[in-house]
């Protein structure tokens, strides 16, 4: 499967979802290509830190931009079980190119009203890209959630009402473990001390994503 992690807002958790998905797929024995399609290079930094922490990263990583995201991924896709593409925080040519080749598009949202304004813009982007890739499946995932209050349910309802997204039912809480793990090039499943809640929610995310047909 080809997964593009995107959206048009920085800091929503695209790279966190992309790196976590890449590591969990690789650790389950799949041959994964991780594509950094963000000029800021967060995915490339992550892979570099991972190499320093573990010696071997467990997946292949490349950096691509603009139309090369499409042409290179098309060339490489038969060589891998999965390709995960991390994109930048704006509506870029690279993100659009990634959406033309993806099977699945995953957009993290932080469930606070300000962030939800971007929902409308992302759904316009999806509408555009479905002209080129009508089979693209689009999912929203909540990130940096607060276990208290009704924010999550409110956000879920607004997302589903919008009509462009399916809902990935595995919200990721706001937890230090995510930032601590990323700084070492690791997923939350790989760090000590263990954060059982973070581990449970990323495993749930993986199961939800693997169940996409
Ligand atoms: N669920 C979370 N809990 C705590 N910190 C998070 C969480 N998700 C992301 N972060 C942190 O927030 C920052 C932005 O996340 P990142 O995944 O890089 O976003 P994006 O790629 O969308 O810009 C990073 O420092 C990251 O470690
Ligand atoms: Mg990023």
CA nearest neighbour of 165 among 213, 124, 113, 110: 124
For the full predicted model, state whether its pTM sits above 0.85: yes
The per-residue pLDDT for 149 is 76
Ligand 1 atom closest to the CA of 143, numbered from 1: 1
Does ligand 1 have an atom closer than 6 angstroms to the CB of 106? no
Q: Where are the beta strands (DSSP E) in the chain?
A: 2-5, 32-37, 60-63, 82-87, 104-109, 137-145, 166-167, 172-173
Q: Which atom of ligand 1 is nearest to the CA of 144?
A: 1
Under 8 Å between Cβ of 38 and 76: no
* pLDDT of 148: 80
Q: What is the mean pLDDT of each run of 10 residues along the chain (213 residues)?
A: 96 97 98 98 98 96 98 98 96 98 97 78 97 98 89 91 95 97 98 97 98 94
The torsion angles phi and psi of 77, rounded to 5 degrees, stand at -65, -30
DSSP 61: E
CA dist list (Å): 48 to 16, 115, 176, 179, 211:
15, 30, 21, 16, 30
Measured distance CA(23)–CA(188) in Å, rounded = 10
CB distance 22 to 58 below 8 Å = no
* Spatial separation of the C-alpha atoms in residues 93 and 34, rounded to whole Å: 18
Domains and CATH numbers, the chain: 2-210 (3.40.50.300)
Q: What is the pLDDT of residue 22?
A: 98
- pLDDT in the model for residue 16: 98
- DSSP reduced 3-state for 176: helix
- End-to-end CA gap in the chain: 10
Is any atom of ligand 1 closer than 6 Å to the C-beta of 14? Answer: yes
Alpha-carbon Rg for the chain, nearest whole angstrom, is 16
CA-closest residue to ligand 1 atom 12:
11
Pairing state between β 104-109 and 2-5: parallel
CA distance 52 to 31: 20
Pocket flag, ligand 1, residue 47 (CB < 6 Å): no
Q: Which ligand is nearest to the CA of 174?
A: 1
């Amino acid at each position: 499967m080809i997964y593009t992690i995107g959206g048009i807002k920085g800091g929503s958790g695209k790279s966190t979802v992309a790196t976590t998905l890449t590591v969990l797929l690789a650790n389950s024995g799949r041959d994964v290509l991780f594509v950094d399609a963000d000029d800021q290079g967060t995915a490339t930094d992550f892979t570099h830190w991972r190499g320093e922490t573990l010696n071997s990263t467990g997946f292949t990583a490349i950096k691509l931009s603009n139309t090369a995201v499409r042409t290179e991924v098309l060339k490489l896709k038969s060589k891998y079980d999965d390709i995960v593409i991390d994109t930048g925080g704006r509506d870029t040519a690279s993100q659009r190119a990634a959406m033309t080749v993806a099977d699945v598009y995953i957009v993290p949202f932080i469930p606070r009203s300000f962030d939800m304004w971007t929902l409308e813009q992302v759904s316009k982007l999806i509408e555009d890209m479905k002209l080129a890739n009508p089979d693209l499946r689009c999912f929203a995932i909540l990130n940096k959630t607060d276990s208290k209050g009704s924010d999550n349910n409110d956000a879920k309802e607004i997302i589903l009402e919008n009509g462009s997204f399916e809902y990935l039912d595995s919200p990721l809480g706001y937890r230090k473990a995510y930032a601590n793990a990323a700084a070492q090039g690791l997923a939350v499943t790989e760090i000590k001390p263990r954060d059982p809640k973070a581990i449970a929610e990323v495993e749930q995310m993986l199961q939800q994503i693997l169940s996409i047909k």
